[in-house]
Amino acid sequence: MPELPEVETIRRGLQGHLVGKRIQSVSGKPGRLFRNNPGGYEQVAATLQGKLTDGLRRRGKFIWMEFDGEDQVLVVHLGMSGQARVTDSSARHKHEYLRLHLDGGTQVSFIDPRTFGHLTLSEVRDSVPVVLEHIAPDPLDARWDADAVISRMRASRRPIKTMLLDQAVLSGVGNIYADEALHRAHMHGRQRGTDLAKDQVAEVLAAAQQVMREAIKVGGTSFDSLYVNTDGEPGYFSRSLSVYGRSGESCVCGTEILQETISGRSHFYCPKCQPPS
DNA sequence: ACCGGGACCTGGAAGC
DNA sequence: TGCTTCCAGGTCCCGG
């Protein structure tokens, strides 16, 4: 579910509670979230016990926690339905898999009904977790290289929308912000990279960067209780969406918004603002 | 080597 | 009021 703006909102929410705090104890239960760790839940719990958190970083839709004097980090991916919540209540969500008990009494809970997300211990190389080396920088990263991404996209015959969603090309963009960026750039998602001018690709990437910055300012996009921040509150960007989830409604230009499928994902677009070629 | 499609899950909404 | 079907904000792996 969460894309870059929602993940960044969660990172900021966790940062204030976790950084500088020691993990006094860990609770939870085994589950698919730990599938990338050979020792499963027990290994993760034992490793985190007693650690002092000193940083919380993000690349695309992934967050990782750094610990004082340690080479190992905990990579957090929320998948489609993951939540990280800060609480002082002992109530357990049915799908809670990990809870960190911090000194001071604050607790951080990781919940994921569909278990598409994961919690993975990883070494770090060149300041990026090894398990995330195949994930490209996102448009808000200091390592972001727009020209390199533009060249790569223009060399491929794949639909532009599919490439915006490819986390090995650029990370952080998901189905919502891909469609919003394409609408802002007046481009239909089925346009092929090889058919686009450099300026056109530059424009859609700039639009993605801008729309995600705007969404972060209002805490991301919530359609329902699936996405909430670390305090359980929704984000407000849904009221600023131009096309995503709005098939049958009117575009700002007055034309009816349509929906079709590209590479198995819904694509919402305005046929007037975003001509197919 | 690239690409599209299916698999992985639960739960909420819509349809009958 | 059920029961069934469809759909979802993501990623990975497989076969063509």
Q: Which of A20, A1, A21, A19 is nearest to A57 (CA)?
A: A19
d(CA A171, CA A27): 31
Distance A173 CA to C11 C1' (A): 13
In chain A, the percentage of residues whose pLDDT exceeds 70 is: 100
pLDDT at A129 over 80: yes
Question: Which one of the listed residues A3, A8, A96, A180 is annotated catalytic?
Answer: A3
3-state secondary structure of A51: coil
pLDDT at A4 over 90: yes
Distance A94 CA to C2 C1' (A): 25
pLDDT at A189 over 90: yes
- Tell which strand C nucleotides have any atom below 7 Å from a protein Cβ: 7-12
Which residue ranges have CB below 7 A from strand C?
Answer: A 1-3, 6, 60-62, 77, 79-80, 114, 116, 134, 165, 167, 174-176, 220-224, 226-227, 238, 265-266
The CA-to-CA distance between both ends of chain A, in Å, stands at 30
* DSSP run (H or E) holding A153: helix A146-154
Please write the tens of the pLDDT for every residue from A153-183.
999 999 999 999 999 999 999 999 999 999 9
User: Angle at Cα A50 formed by Cα A96 and Cα A21, nearest 5°?
Assistant: 80
Distance A136 CA to C3 C1' (A): 45
Residue A136 DSSP one-character state: P
Distance A72 CA to C6 C1' (A): 42
d(CA A213, CA A84): 21
> Quick one: pLDDT band at residue A276, thresholds 50, 70, 90?
confident
Question: Which one of the listed residues A11, A21, A51, A61 is annotated catalytic?
Answer: A61
CB atoms inside a 10 Å sphere around CB A161: 25
Residue A267, pLDDT score: 96
Please write the tens of the pLDDT for every residue from A15-36.
999 999 999 999 999 999 999 9
pTM more than 0.95: yes
User: Angle at Cα A139 formed by Cα A109 and Cα A80, nearest 5°?
Assistant: 35
- Enter the tokens of residue A265: 């994902």
Separation in Å, CA A249 to CA A188, A243, A268, A271, A272: 18, 9, 11, 12, 14
Distance A88 CA to C16 C1' (A): 53
Residue A179 DSSP one-character state: H
- Tell which strand B nucleotides have any atom below 7 Å from a protein Cβ: 2-13
A61 is catalytic: yes
> Quick one: pLDDT band at residue A103, thresholds 50, 70, 90?
very high
CA A234 from centre of chain: 15
CB atoms inside a 10 Å sphere around CB A62: 26
Torsion of CA A192, A170, A247, A194, to 10 degrees: -10
* Mean pLDDT computed over A196-213: 98
Tokens 């929704």 belong to A234
Q: Which of A41, A52, A154 is nearest to A99 (CA)?
A: A41
Beta-sheet pairing, A83-87 with A96-102: unpaired
User: What are the strands of the beta sheet with A128-129, ordered from one edge?
Assistant: A53-59, A62-67, A72-77, A118-125, A128-129
A2 is catalytic: yes
A265 is catalytic: yes
d(CA A149, CA A142): 14
